[in-house]
């Protein structure tokens, strides 16, 4: 069997596949986020490790005697986070996460200091990326920077605890800004601009390669053989792509998790930084991908439900009862609760409800939230098309994939077919387990099949006119009314 571990922002998820590729066990453990100051987002790496050990305990109990049949482990992880270690591999400070926006000034400084950045890294310098975080630490926490010996990404810290090895993969490392994405190797030029060199970086392997085996003491504690292989793994979205079988050029999916992502596979390196489109390595050799990324997606729905005291299931039932007139007159919601990446690259953008009246009840505002997040995805599709990427169909994964209503709304707004799959909400953990399969030699065409289709949502032409009118208003609010944006 094969274990996939997906280190997300809100939870760690574990999934076990059997030899035929069927899921035999799934479990998750929650994580907390600390926000000690505005724009900050941090987690304790030790919490990741404790949650992982808890997961292993639960899965081991559930699978009983079959647990020892695990042959390989794959890793998926939230990208961009900075885990800082000293010479003894002790954690120097809480990890600075992908949705931390404290370092816009350092982004400007890196852009000025490294004029070749866009060509090498394929991306703009954004506060979420790892490199500007290190410039911030160097400037504001010099005593920590002086002790720094290693920078790891979140899932690679788990690998260190599992294997004793400091190793990363191409897809996750592409999100640091230190990788030459075309060459799939560290860039000495950009590292130097950040006061670093290769000695601070982990080794690199492809996501489908074997990176290491379990350390004997971990294998003993987990009830597994020390020969268990740990795959290279990848960044969460690239690994989710493996989970939904997005491995060939043109394959695409939308992920509605804490963040919102539109992901497209490419057979060449195709940067488009002018529109804040991300260009990264895929988790498989000789493939790359483009992504549009919005920082708050399903998290907007969670935020709203928490404020009004309703569950997501209850709210969606209420939204489904709304008629066309109520939806067409609903406030416009801007989903920039944590700033925004694609297409604005604006860490100071803020969320709003625009156009509220006495008729705006709980369900109407809930609809506005779903629609606003969907409009943010549409912004990403628009700039991907402007870069030359055409799409006619997307898979839908993540927690938001559980809502048929939201899937249909996306199909209507994006004017493409939206496909949900059985088990689509487990994309990252499933993809990680599949990378474990590949790391021990199972063939790609056998392992990376697209999961069984659950439903296909086609565009409803009757909804297009009113939605496009509202989308135009959505765009104009950000572009023209700066009073809604934080300085």
Which sequence positions are flagged as catalytic? 236
Does 79 belong to an annotated binding site?
Answer: yes
Measured distance CA(258)–CA(297) in Å, rounded: 6
Spatial separation of the C-alpha atoms in residues 406 and 339, rounded to whole Å: 23
3-state secondary structure of 72: strand
Distance CA 121, CA 34 (A): 29
Contact 465, 437 (CB under 8 A): no
**Could you give the 3-state DSSP secondary structure of residue 22?**
coil
Contact between 78 and 154 under an 8 Å Cβ cutoff? The reply is yes
Specify whether the CB–CB gap between 190 and 131 falls below 8 A: yes
Q: Tokens in use for 423?
A: 């088990």
In angstroms, rounded to a whole number, what is the distance separating the alpha carbons of residues 229 and 175?
25
Query: What is the C-alpha separation between 207 and 350, in angstroms, rounded?
Result: 36
Give the separation between CA 292 and CA 376, rounded to whole angstroms: 10
Q: Are 334 and 470 in contact (CB under 8 A)?
A: no
- The residue ranges of DSSP E strands in 188-286, in sequence order, are 203-205, 210-213, 229-231, 234-235, 252-256, 260-266, 278-281
Helix (H, G, I), strand (E, B) or coil at 176: helix
Contact (Cβ atoms closer than 8 angstroms) between residue 319 and residue 366:
yes
Question: Contact, 349 vs 294, CB < 8 A?
Answer: no
Q: What angle do CA 173, 176, 178 make, to 5 degrees?
A: 90
Q: CA-CA distances (angstroms) from residue 24 to 55, 306, 359, 443, 448? A: 14, 33, 48, 21, 17
Please state, in angstroms and rounded to a whole number, the distance separating the CA atoms of residues 380 and 253.
12
Please give the angle made by the CA atoms of 377, 312 and 29, to the nearest 5 degrees. Answer: 90
Residue 416 CA to its chain's centroid (Å): 22
Beta carbons within 8 Å of 239's beta carbon, 6+ residues apart: 6, 74, 76, 171, 207, 233, 283, 427, 428, 431, 432, 435
Query: Would the annotation count 80 as a binding residue?
Result: yes
Residue ranges for the known binding site for substrate are 79-80
């Amino acid at each position: 069997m094969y274990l996939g571990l997906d280190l997300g922002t809100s939870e760690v998820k574990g999934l076990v596949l059997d030899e035929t590729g069927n899921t035999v066990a799934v479990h998750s453990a929650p994580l907390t986020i600390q926000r000690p100051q505005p724009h900050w987002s941090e987690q304790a790496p030790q919490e990741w490790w404790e949650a992982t050990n808890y997961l292993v305990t639960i899965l081991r109990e559930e699978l009983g005697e079959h647990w020892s049949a695990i042959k390989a482990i794959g890793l998926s992880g939230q990208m961009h986070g900075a885990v800082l270690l000293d010479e003894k591999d002790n954690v120097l400070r809480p990890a600075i996460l992908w949705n931390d926006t404290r370092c816009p000034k350092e982004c400007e400084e890196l852009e000025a200091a490294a004029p070749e950045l866009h060509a090498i890294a394929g991306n703009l310098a954004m506060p979420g990326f790892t490199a500007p975080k290190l410039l911030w630490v160097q400037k504001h926490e010099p005593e920590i920077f002086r002790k720094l010996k290693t920078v790891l990404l979140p899932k690679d810290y788990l690998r260190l605890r599992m294997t004793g090895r400091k190793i990363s993969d191409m897809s996750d490392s592409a999100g640091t800004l230190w990788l030459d994405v075309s060459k799939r190797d560290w860039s000495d030029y950009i590292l130097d601009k950040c006061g670093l060199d290769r000695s601070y970086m982990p080794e690199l392997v492809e996501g489908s390669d074997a990176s290491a085996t379990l350390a004997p003491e971990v294998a003993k504690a987990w009830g597994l053989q020390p020969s268990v292989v740990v795959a290279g793994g990848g960044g969460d979205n690239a690994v989710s792509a493996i989970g939904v079988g997005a491995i060939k050029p043109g394959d695409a999916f939308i992920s509605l998790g804490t963040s919102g992502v539109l992901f497209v596979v490419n057979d060449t390196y195709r940067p488009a930084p002018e529109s804040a489109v991300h260009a990264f390595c895929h988790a498989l050799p000789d493939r790359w991908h483009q992504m549009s990324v919005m920082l708050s997606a399903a998290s907007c729905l969670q935020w709203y439900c928490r404020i009004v005291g309703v569950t997501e299931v209850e709210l969606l039932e209420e939204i489904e009862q709304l008629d066309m007139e109520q939806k067409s007159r609903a406030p416009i919601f801007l989903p920039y609760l944590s700033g925004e990446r694609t297409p604005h690259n604006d860490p100071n953008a803020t969320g709003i409800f625009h156009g509220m009246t006495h008729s705006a009840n709980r369900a109407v505002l809930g609809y506005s939230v779903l629609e606003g997040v969907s409009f943010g995805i549409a912004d990403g599709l628009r700039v991907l098309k402007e870069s030359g990427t055409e799409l006619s169909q997307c898979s839908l994964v993540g927690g938001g994939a559980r809502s048929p209503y939201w899937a249909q709304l996306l199909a209507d707004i994006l004017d493409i077919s939206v496909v949900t799959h059985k088990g689509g909400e487990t994309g990252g953990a499933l993809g990680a387990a599949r990378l474990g399969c590949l790391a021990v030699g199972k063939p790609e065409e056998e392992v990376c099949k697209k999961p069984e289709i659950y439903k296909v949502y086609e565009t409803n032409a009757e909804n297009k006119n009113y939605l496009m009118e509202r989308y135009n208003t959505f765009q104009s609010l950000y572009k023209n009314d700066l009073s809604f944006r934080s300085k």
